Amino acid sequence: MKNYIVHDEWNIIEEGFHPAYNEVSESLFSIGNGRMGQRANFEEDYSGKSLSGSYLAGVYYPDKTRVGWWKNGYPEYFAKVINSINWIGLHIHVNGEILDLATCKVQRFQRKLDMKHGLLMRSFDVKLQNGVEIRVKSTRIFHLFQSETASLKYTIQVLNGEASLQVASYLEGDVVNRDSNYDEHFWNFISSGALDSQLNVTMKTKKTDFIVRADLVNSFILNTETLAPKQSTDGAYVSETIAISLTPEDVFSIEKRVSMVTSQNHNEAELVAAGRANIEQVSALSFDELKTKQALAWGNFWNESDIEITADVASQQAIRFNIFQLYQTYTGEDSRLNIGPKGFTGEKYGGVTYWDTEAYCVPFYLATQPADVARNLLLYRYQHLDKAIENAEKLGFSNGAALYPMVTMNGEECHNEWEITFEEIHRNGAIAFAIYNYQRYTGDRSYVENYGLEVLIAISRFWAQRVNWSAEKEKYVILGVTGPNEYENNVNNNWYTNTVAGWCLKYTLESIETLKESDPSKQITLFEKVNFKEEESVSWQHIIDHLYYPIDSEQGIFLQQDGYLDKEQVLVSDLPDKERPINQKWSWDRILRSCFIKQADVLQGLYFFEDQYDLDTIRRNYDFYEPRTVHESSLSPCVHAILASKLGNEAKAYEFYLRTARLDLDDYNNDTEDGLHITSMAGTWMSIVEGFAGMRVKNNTLSFQTFIPKTWDSYAFHVQFRGVKLFVRIKHHDFELINKSNQEINIIFNGEEISVKPRA
């Protein structure tokens, strides 16, 4: 763990320069606006350790798969959101020496991410090898109010006498991905230009043919005078250069405004006009006006989504950081986009979509944003249904059965580890559960009827073909799977997988019956579209009634899978610290033979379907599995925090909250340099709202069962539920409920029914 980030309620602050942690900081201070984003790379040259990254949502490259041994069904490629045009770059020479913090003496350094206003700021004083001392301040904005644009301001002062400066501000299109499987460049150069104080570069991705055009306007200002630069073009590199002399009385600033437009959002013929229109709009505003508009846009978001914690700055900072990064990654304006596990903060996992979205992110967006935001996340999967059916066909399934990909950009599977690609089929269940969760929370059945039921039928067809009848057990079984616990591969009858499969079949049949009753003609049309036969309903019901679930009746627990108790039963507390994390210290063979669990597995099912089990059942399983869980997935602590809260284990719930909330800020798993754990950040929100506050939907009513950590004075949050906006504040011996809408709502609060009237 690292402990160099200053605790602050609204800011992420690095005081002093930490070159060894620079890639960690580049991740932590990442900034974006849902359409595009960027690691916190320096604007000036830096020869130290750095991962350059600037990313555009939905623009990807199918990097050819690289595996040591091939299996039928393996995807041909791994889709990657690729490093795109570098627009922030500055080459700065001071008396002929290049400004590079790796070679200068850094006398003062601060990097700050202002989450309240959506700004990335940096300031430093350095002494170059030639003896010149300079001061630099920079501010970077990815405009939330105009998501195809961004801007920055970079100010230089000389501190000890006159110095000559040469500054080049540039666009660079020939960028690379560190994670390229074969060191291939993913871009082809199309064109560049420098005309009328405006630079542009147009690039095109190989294979996928996404066209990206960047338009840049520079302003070079000495004190109050705007200077005229020299322009140059060299293929994918275009620049403007200025040479000046500075005294300590002078302030020299470079302002950059950029537009990044893609053929994903504009016709190719419209890219030039779209880029110029964007640039005209942001160039018409001063930098201070851009900051004001950014603050207003972020203010509107925080007014609906903030969580306030008093008397615990570390917890307050952490939850705001998690919420901030979630919204930087996905704002919900485009159903073609989804939430990559690293967002715009790094290359690991390729920026693609996992089941994390449905299992962890949907609840956050349901409760904090208008319903159409979560609906767009569901539409993303509906739009990929044909691809999910194709994925299943490649593995031998038929009749419209769908297997959604473990990893995808466009609906095709692009993950190539066999135990994941072929076996971690529980992802289908998470997608079905998200449809149910949306319906349960919003009360809106129209999505299920118009889109969701088609997905549910296709997924259910997969489950019906994936089971097989065991003559010995006289039950249906599901063989050869990997559950959420990826430290177990190729197991039989993973309890969670079987449970989510049986639930999905049942929910699909219930949804069919509801549609029959509410709109028979729509049901007939749907059945004709998907060629559904009534015999399928009979077959599915037989599977539901005869599906096998492994249990240990002696201990009263659900078995993670057949044979789990054959393993040597030791606890995580028995593991020496020097052997953790086991995924870095142990052989894979040893991990597979151990009883240790990577993340919530049985407990994931108890979290999803808690209403089906009494408290004693949940407690017995929690008490058995939690001590065997090493939590080496970022997705694990939040589920445990929620269940610990439900069981009244407040100390453990708080412990797990801190672990998920400060996972990246404190670099808990020593991997933040690869990028942030964006999807698990939604789990941090869940730990408070579903954990500490116990928020649930029961019988179409919003319910809370609250407690407050001992170290906190209070916590407060906002939720939206079926057209009503609520503000909830929890104290040790009191609470506050404010209805911010114009309609009354009845809720259950700590067991008591309360009518919350609109605020006067």
Positions annotated as catalytic residues are 486
**∠ CA 361-364-368 to the nearest 5 degrees?**
145
- Judged by DSSP in three states, 227 sits in strand
Provide the pairing of β-strand 745-749 with 701-704.
parallel
Question: Cβ neighbours of residue 563 under 8 Å, at least 6 residues apart?
Answer: 491, 492
- Angle at CA of residue 233, ends 230 and 238, nearest 5°: 85
d(CA 261, CA 498): 45
Output b/e per residue, 190-213; b: 16+ Cβ within 10 A: eebebeeebbbbbbbbeebebbbb
Residue with tokens 């797990």: 656
Distance from C-alpha of 526 to C-alpha of 151, rounded to nearest angstrom: 49
Backbone φ, ψ for residue 32 (5° rounding): -165, -175
Residues belonging to the chain? 760
Q: CA-to-CA distance for 676 and 356, rounded, in angstroms?
A: 14
CA-CA distance, 756 to 753, in Å (whole number)?
10
Please, what is the Cα angle at 455 between 365 and 59, to 5 degrees?
A: 60
First to last CA, the chain: 48
Residues 264-298 as b/e (b if ≥16 CB within 10 A, e otherwise) read bbbeeeebbebbbebbeebbebebeebbebbbebb
Q: Measured between alpha carbons, how far is 697 from 724 in angstroms, rounded to an integer?
A: 14
Q: How far is CA 631 from CA 203, 340, 580, 684, 749, in A?
A: 42, 21, 11, 14, 32
Task: Tell me how far apart the alpha carbons of residues 61 and 51 are, in angstroms, rounded to a whole number.
Answer: 19
